Structure 1
Amino acid sequence: MKTIKEYVEARDLSLDDLKGALQLAMRLEFSTIPPYLCAQWSVKRDPDRVEGVLHAVVSQEMGHFALAGNLLAAIGGRPSIGHADFVLNYPVAELPGGIPQELPIDLKPLRKEQLAVFMQIETPEFPPVAFRTARAPATIGAFYDTIITTFQTLNPEIDPDAHAVELPFSHRIETVADAIETIDRIKSEGEGAQDSPDQPSGEERASFAHYYLFKELWLQKRLVKAGEKWSFSGASIDLPDVYDFQPSQAEPNPSADFNRTFSQLLIDLESCWTAGASPNVAAMFQLQILGRDLIKRGIRPEFRWDDGTS
């Protein structure tokens, strides 16, 4: 699979490359979900309802992942997620596509040091980023811009009847204009946002990209409007008490049921795009139950591939 830098440097992509870029986008968006879920599931006493912030971010990331799959299916591609190569082995030092991370991305409780990792993942593409040297890694924002440009220039045929994952946070892709609007949404809500790290561009909290939600928690201060600008000077935020957890070396593996449920969920999700199956919502809730139980027992959920064949 090509890197994000290779896609960005190619600029206008072929149809096959556009399909490859959207498959990479699926893996990129999915890679954030296990760390965010572990942080959410670690929450114990939560006076300021911080878990709700994590829930909102996870829901949007799941939406971005599903939308990338819907985009790929709409142009005749075949989303491929139900296999071991799709899954990351945390901790990782880079995001899928070759985006290096100074702070390793791992599965840890919701603490300030983990919020710093989340802010690193979601850092907005502030305009000066565009003027870095040619040796600097391509950004996620530039990657999504390349996909948008390709839809505009290639004008690929869209199959409005392609199999799609349709949930409250994702929708079917029906036109090229719809595809471009969808990619803009993914970009603005997440890692591709083009704002200052200290100043979101939106007029309402509901429009804030993930970076600003995490920075509020990291600074433990709400963003408030002061004149024409936003400022991290609002009410204090108390971070929740959390369950501590660590990887387990016990035998039999206490994460075995979790891993099998996780792997089957990916297999089932792939069949939504390839065979028109309905999303297995019950399995999503079962994964949450198993994950929370592990964390309450002090065990880190692994999010490892296990389809029962090994």
Structure 2
Amino acid sequence: MNSRATAAACVRAPPNPATVRRRAERRKGPAVTTGILDYRSDAIVQLMNIAEEDWTEKELKDALQRAIMLELSTIPPYATALWSITNPDNSQPVRHAIREIVFDEMSHFGLVCNMLTSIGGTVVLTDPLTVPKYPGELPGGVNPGLEVYLSGLTRESAGLFSDIEKPEHPLAFAADGNTIGAFYQRIADVFPTFAHLLTGQRQVTFPLGSSHGAGNDIVPMNTIDDVLNAIHIIQTQGEGTDASPDNPFPGAPGELAHYYAFKEIAVGKRLVLDDMTQKYEFTGADVPLPDTSPVARVPAGGWANSPGNEPDQTTAGLLHTFNQQYSDMLRALEQAWGATGADSIGPAIGLMGQMRRTAQQINGIKLPADPRFTYGPEWLFVQ
């Protein structure tokens, strides 16, 4: 797969009459049985199985809503691991790497929301069907068989994160399975056909670039070039390029793309270019894990479902506070991109700071059934 979305993709031959008829028939046809908002469905797999020339406006909007759900699904596991690190110094290498990735994901989320609203779509975040669910697979059937869970930072959880970000053709070794990058490439290939739908309306802007990298500004999607540039940023920040594992839009020189940054933490070795083979290998200097709170894996449905670890009143109160803050953040984000929205994600970012502080309180409470480990935030949506 060529992960680079280029302006050349804009050149499209007009669809033939048979394709036009098929699109019309699809618009009149029965609804997709899996339901586009169902987090647990295989809707992305279904979209990938539809020929590009058969995509309609509905498929494109569905794909963008799915991409929004994908971006959102990465933030809870990454943030849970980040907040388990006890040293608050953001310049500490591992903490810095994960923190920058979380901000990248927030930027990606915002860019895709702008894509959807610019073509007249509606960002849905607070329907119970759309919110992330852990443990479980990524939404839409991406990377099938990969179970994503919430826990503190360990070599194992860093390995999970690298699997989430895995490129179609990583430079360090062979890949397998369907990837997020491949899904974005399909969107990039199809979007130019629907460039006429771009209105530039209901767009949110937020300046993250000065602190977190040139590609991190959330900018309006007014033209097809805006869209393709944004998809290129999303792909290469996560995967690197065909020639380099570096993030081409770093906040600081030498930052690796997400996949390789997480893989270094998982393997415990720096990624280096071998002078003899001219191949990238994880054989460099050691990457020590920072001190962390030993946050255990959060059970499905929360700690009330963990026999022997049912939270006491104080712990239950903190868990509920976090879940309420998380839910309010989703509502603030949905409102920002809504028809009469706030046009700002400032309130949501403020809530993210509150969530961090609450999570760190939760992380300090030992599990009754196994005091070697601590509680962690549940990330449960509160209606």
What TM-score do the two structures reach when normalised by structure 1?
0.86
5 and 137 in structure 1: CA distance in 2 versus 1, 3 angstrom threshold: farther
* 1:177-216 equivalent positions in 2, closer than 5 A: 177-190=225-238, 195=242, 200=245, 206=254, 208-216=256-264
Task: Report the residue type matching 1:72 in the other structure.
Answer: L
Q: Distance in 2 between matches of 1:11 and 1:292?
A: 47
Deviations 1:228-278 (A, max 9, x none): 554433322211121012443225424101001100110011111112312
- The answer (yes or no) to whether the contact 1:73–1:164 under 8 Å persists in 2 is no
The residue that corresponds to 1:53 in the other structure is 97
The residue that corresponds to 1:267 in the other structure is 331
Q: Does 1:255 align with 2:316?
A: no
Say which of 14, 19, 27 aligns to 2:69.
Answer: 27
Deviations 1:65-91 (A, max 9, x none): 111111101111110112322222211
* Structure with greater strand share of residues: 1
Q: Does 1:98 align with 2:98?
A: no
Q: Does 1:152 align with 2:192?
A: yes
Higher relative contact order (CA 8 A, sep 6+): 1
Q: Does 1:237 align with 2:282?
A: no
Secondary structure at the counterpart of residue 124 of structure 1: coil
The residue that corresponds to 1:77 in the other structure is 121
101 and 150 in structure 1: CA distance in 2 versus 1, 3 angstrom threshold: closer
Q: CA deviation at 1:126?
A: 1.0
* 1:120-135 equivalent positions in 2, closer than 5 A: 120-126=163-169
Paired residues, number? 298
Q: Does 1:283 align with 2:351?
A: yes
Q: CA deviation at 1:20?
A: 0.7
Q: CA deviation at 1:137?
A: 6.0
The Cα RMSD (Å) is 2.7
- The answer (yes or no) to whether the contact 1:53–1:213 under 8 Å persists in 2 is yes
235 and 137 in structure 1: CA distance in 2 versus 1, 3 angstrom threshold: closer
Q: Distance in 1 between matches of 2:132 and 2:201?
A: 31
Structure 2 segments unaligned to the other structure (5+ residues): 1-35, 37-41, 209-215, 304-309, 366-373
Q: Which moved more, 1:74-83 or 1:219-228?
A: 219-228
The residue that corresponds to 2:133 in the other structure is 89
17 and 206 in structure 1: CA distance in 2 versus 1, 3 angstrom threshold: farther
Say which of 214, 218, 222 aligns to 2:270.
Answer: 222
Q: Distance in 1 between matches of 2:144 and 2:290?
A: 26
What TM-score do the two structures reach when normalised by structure 2?
0.71
202 and 301 in structure 1: CA distance in 2 versus 1, 3 angstrom threshold: closer
Secondary structure at the counterpart of residue 63 of structure 2: helix
Task: Report the residue type matching 1:113 in the other structure.
Answer: E
Q: Which moved more, 1:273-282 or 1:260-269?
A: 273-282
Q: CA deviation at 1:161?
A: 3.6
- The answer (yes or no) to whether the contact 1:165–1:273 under 8 Å persists in 2 is no
167 and 16 in structure 1: CA distance in 2 versus 1, 3 angstrom threshold: farther
Q: Distance in 1 between matches of 2:235 and 2:227?
A: 12
Q: Distance in 2 between matches of 1:271 and 1:78?
A: 11
- The answer (yes or no) to whether the contact 2:362–2:376 under 8 Å persists in 1 is yes
218 and 195 in structure 1: CA distance in 2 versus 1, 3 angstrom threshold: farther
The residue that corresponds to 2:48 in the other structure is 8
Q: Does 1:303 align with 2:379?
A: yes
Deviations 1:172-227 (A, max 9, x none): 2121111011112112222x65659xx73778964632110011112222233444
Quick one: percent identity of the two aligned structures? 32
Task: Report the residue type matching 2:286 in the other structure.
Answer: S
Task: Report the residue type matching 2:382 in the other structure.
Answer: D
Q: Distance in 2 between matches of 1:206 and 1:75?
A: 36
Structure 1 segments unaligned to the other structure (5+ residues): none
Q: Does 1:172 align with 2:215?
A: no
Secondary structure at the counterpart of residue 296 of structure 1: coil
Secondary structure at the counterpart of residue 86 of structure 1: coil
Q: CA deviation at 1:138?
A: 4.2
Q: Which moved more, 1:2-11 or 1:107-116?
A: 2-11
Q: Distance in 1 between matches of 2:222 and 2:264?
A: 37
